[in-house]
Amino acid sequence: MCLPVIYFGFIFIAGIPAEEYSHLGQHASELGINGNNAAVILFKTGVLLTSISLFLLATGLWVSYKKRFLLTGILTFTFGVTFVFGAIYPIGSPWHGFYGFGLFIMILPFVFLYESRGLLHKKLLERLSVVAGLLMFLYLWSVIAGLDPVNYRGLTQRLFGVVVFGWFAMLSNYLSRTQKDQ
């Protein structure tokens, strides 16, 4: 549930000492090639902690729910792997995004809904999962199609992060409460 705080917290803090960096106009990964070493270290630390959080979430899904969330766990774990590659390889390298492998994130909410059938008792979670998946698709499509506004690509990426990590936090919160009730 702390994924949004880790991800956004480190990006925000790394932006403070960064040289000529704009949270509104630049992607977070640009902090990884900034001239200020503290900004680079803070950014990479946040990315790696985000990865660890995703690995823990995937492991928790497998341990708590066994095979029910097998694909959700695999996709979550793999999304964490793409973050490791993002920390190791600087922006501009095809390895930075693991050759775009993380694009599957837009189907993750739908895979979760499929695997959770019969478990969910909250229509709100179902609806928010559908909206999150559609917003993820819309953002990633706009980036690939060149429709992401250049002067606001940092802002649009942060909004995408709110959707992605907000969905993960909502999912974690709901499933942890469901586990306690059983």
- Please tell me the predicted confidence (pLDDT) of residue 97: 78
Q: Residues in the chain, how many? A: 182
Q: How far apart are CA 92 and CA 71, in angstroms?
A: 30
Q: How far apart are CA 72 and CA 152, in angstroms?
A: 31
CA 131 and chain centroid, separation: 16
Nearest to 77 by CA among 55, 49, 61: 55
Inter-helix orientation angle 153-181/3-15, to 10°:
150
Task: Return the domain boundaries, the chain.
Answer: 3-181
Q: How far apart are CA 110 and CA 10, in angstroms?
A: 29
Both tokens assigned to 148: 């992401």
Coil, strand, or helix at residue 140? helix
Nearest to 157 by CA among 130, 172, 135: 135
Residue 127 burial class via C-beta count within 10 angstroms: exposed 0-12, middle 13-18, buried 19 and up: exposed
Q: How far apart are CA 158 and CA 26, in angstroms?
A: 10
Nearest to 88 by CA among 98, 100, 78, 79: 98
Each of the 182 residues of the chain gets a pLDDT tens digit; together they read 788 889 899 999 999 999 999 999 999 999 999 999 999 999 999 999 999 999 999 999 999 998 999 999 999 999 999 999 999 998 888 888 777 788 889 999 999 999 998 887 778 889 999 999 999 999 999 999 999 999 999 999 999 999 999 999 999 988 888 766 65
Query: φ, ψ for residue 110 (rounded to 5)?
Result: -75, -35
Task: Read off the pTM.
Answer: 0.91
- Please tell me the predicted confidence (pLDDT) of residue 73: 97
- Please tell me the predicted confidence (pLDDT) of residue 77: 96
Query: Which amino acid is present at 132?
Result: A
